[in-house]
Amino acid sequence: MKPRKSQHLETRIQQLLAQILLRDVDDARLRAVTFTGVKLSPDKSHATVRFCSYLPDADPEALEEGLNKASGFFGQGMIHALAVRRTPRLHFVYDRGFDHAQRVDDLLNQARGKSGETDEP
């Protein structure tokens, strides 16, 4: 189990990244991103930030590349808000969990449609 301080820091980083994204980023593609989680390394020097996009035609690889190129910008934006000696180095990774969930939902809807079932009682 993770120490409470680490969990709090991960949550705070996620909140700050969302604020910076809304307030300071002009790229419309990146503004369509939602941060889904942050995982700190044991020494707190690196943070893996998971994200997804709510745009159906978004290119996950391009978004990941764009966010990783902007990681220094995000790090600079967090310096004064985090009460830590060193701001963790950010690594952005596309969270495919939502894509998989949507695919499963689509398959279930197809199966219901083929069998003639409805959701109504």
Using one digit for the tens of pLDDT, what is the confidence trace for 37-81?
Answer: 999 999 999 999 999 988 878 899 999 999 999 999 999 999 888
Please give the model's pTM, rounded to 2 decimal places: 0.79
In order, the DSSP letters of 61-94 are HHHHHHHHHTHHHHHHHHTTTS-SSSPPEEEEEE
- For the segment(s) 4-96, the CATH number from 3.10.20.880, 3.40.30.10, 3.30.420.40, 3.30.300.20 is 3.30.300.20
User: Percent of the chain scored above 90 by pLDDT?
Assistant: 55
Which band of pLDDT confidence, cut at 50, 70 and 90, is reported for residue 1? low
Burial class (CB in 10 A: 0-12, 13-18, 19+), 44: middle
